[in-house]
Amino acid sequence: MSTNPDNALAQPVGTTLERYIMRKQSEFAYATGELSQLLRDIALAGKIINREVNRAGLSELKGAFGTENVQGEQQQKLDVVANIRFIRALKNGGQACAILSEEEDEIIQTGNNQGRYVVAMDPLDGSANIDVNVPIGTIFSIYRRITPVGTPATKDDFLQGGRKQIAAGYVLYGSSTMLVYTTGHGVVGFTYEHSLGEFFLSHPDLLIPQNGKIFSCNEGHWFDYPEYVRTYLMECKRKGYTGRYVGSLVADYHRSLLMGGIYLYPPTKKKPQGKLRLLYECYPLAFLIEQAGGAAVADANGTPILDIVATDCHQRSALVIGSTNMVKEIAASATATAKLS
């Protein structure tokens, strides 16, 4: 490699998110610039949260906030900060008429009733890991509203079903900060360059390997898992697969997307419907994984996540997601176990 400084200066910087969105705008179903602006607003909020995460240890943003969210979970200080930052960015952007957040009981009206989109989000997934420097993330899902423009949005705008998403993705705050999203035309990833304050295209066409050798699940729930799940996990161990689980959905999912693997949060005796939230965790990640060539199912019957009918904004679901052949294997395990019972 040349050490000539002139050569180094001549190297291209890369494609920014802004430039990429402009170039691809014609692929959007409604190419009016509104969805493009919405993606920019999400990216801006991601930059702000990246800053807050990086300085959390120095700005007293670690630890519990002292309240519970609608899920009955203890809110962390950064949960609250992330929620405020994303809501503010989406309100100021003007394209979202309403927001559904994990941290809020009710739909948040932005006051932008002329806006044509609604956004469902988990502002900060994996926040229990904040204090120990484990990667965390933001998950988002975008729908084109179905209620009349000019009126307040309703829950019907959010309960259209996973197949109606027009964009979805996540921001991962880790050793590098990445924005990964789809608009139904494949999956792209952008890495944040701190010194320039820009997201640059780093993964232009993300495709998950069809097979993998990594499984991610909380084995602490082993005895609460259905028999077919335990059977599948035992088979993974017999094959010498690697177990990796950090407890941040975005982080474990991102690993599987890049390297091939499977993430499981099956039903348990305590939570027979599953634990993860359908609208702002399962739906967006399932949309994205299918666009990357993977699969996502909810149960032993192999029901695709995107085919589940949502009836409540904070509905929970089980989730098995990742490399297609690995997802098929756990479905086969369920079938075989059922025949033996």
- Measuring CA to CA, which residue among 341, 331, 330 is closest to residue 235? 330
Q: Mention every residue, 6+ apart, whose C-beta is less than 8 A from residue 13.
A: 196, 200
Question: Cα torsion at 206, 210, 213, 218 (round to 10°)?
Answer: 80
Is 122 annotated among the ligand-binding residues?
Answer: yes
Kindly state the tokens that stand for 281.
């965790």
Q: Consult the annotation and say whether 124 binds a ligand.
A: yes
Q: Tell me if 156 is assigned to a ligand binding site.
A: no
- Please state, in angstroms and as integers, the Cα–Cα distance from residue 160 to each residue in 110, 149, 186, following that order: 20, 16, 22
170 is in an annotated binding site: no
265 among the known binding-site residues? yes
Q: Binding site annotation covers 113?
A: no
Is there a binding annotation on residue 245? yes
* Residue whose entry in the numeric block shows the structure tokens 């739909």: 107
Distance CA 338, CA 201 (A): 46
CA distances from 206 to 85, 252, 293 (A): 28, 16, 9
Q: Is 299 a known ligand-binding residue?
A: no
Residue 320 forms beta bridges with which residues? 264, 297
Cβ pair 220, 334 in contact under 8 A: no
DSSP alpha helix (H) spans, the chain = 5-10, 17-24, 34-54, 77-93, 227-238, 249-259, 283-291, 324-340
Which residues contribute to the annotated binding site? Answer: 102, 122, 124-125, 218, 245, 263-265, 275, 281
Which residues contribute to the annotated binding site for substrate? Answer: 218, 245, 263-265, 275
Which residues contribute to the annotated binding site for Mg(2+)? Answer: 102, 122, 124-125, 281
